[in-house]
Copies of this chain bind each other. A is one copy, B any other.
Amino acid sequence: MVDLESGKSGDRRAEILALATDAFLTHGYSGTSMADLAGAVGIRKASLYHHFPSKHDLFVACVSEGFLGALKRLEDIRDDPNLSDPDRIRAAMEEIYRVNTTTVVGRMAPLIAEVAPRIPEVARAFYDGFIARHYGLLTGMIEDGIARGCFLPVDAVALRQLIIGPVVFMQMEREITATFADGEALVPIRRIRESHISMVLQLLTGATPAFGDVAKD
Interface residues in chain A, defined as those with a beta carbon under 8 Å from any beta carbon in chain B: 26-31, 109-118, 120, 123-124, 126-127, 131-132, 152-155, 157-159, 161-162, 164-170, 172-173, 175-180, 186, 188, 191-192, 195-196, 199, 202-203, 206, 208, 211-212, 214
How far apart are A60's CB and chain B's nearest CB, in angstroms?
A: 15
| Cβ–Cβ contact B157 & A192, under 8 A | yes
Q: Whole-angstrom distance between the alpha carbons of A163 and B29 in the complex?
A: 30
| Cβ–Cβ contact B117 & A179, under 8 A | yes
| Cβ–Cβ contact B170 & A165, under 8 A | yes
| Cβ–Cβ contact A176 & B123, under 8 A | yes
Q: From the candidates B27, B157, B169, B191, name the one contacting A114 in the complex (CB within 8 A).
A: B27
| Cβ–Cβ contact B157 & A117, under 8 A | no
Closest to A163 in B: B166
Contacts of A214 in B (CB 8 A): 155
Q: Whole-angstrom distance between the alpha carbons of A106 and B132 in the complex?
A: 23
Closest to A120 in B: B179
| Cβ–Cβ contact B172 & A117, under 8 A | no
Contacts of A120 in B (CB 8 A): 179-180
How far apart are A125's CB and chain B's nearest CB, in angstroms?
A: 11
How far apart are A77's CB and chain B's nearest CB, in angstroms?
A: 21
| Cβ–Cβ contact A211 & B152, under 8 A | yes
Closest to A169 in B: B165
Q: Report 26 cross-chain contacts, Cβ distance below 8 Å, ordered by A residue.
A: A26-B117, A27-B30, A27-B114, A27-B118, A28-B31, A28-B114, A29-B31, A31-B115, A31-B118, A109-B172, A109-B176, A110-B172, A113-B175, A116-B175, A123-B177, A124-B180, A127-B180, A152-B211, A153-B212, A157-B188, A157-B191, A158-B192, A158-B196, A159-B195, A164-B169, A168-B172
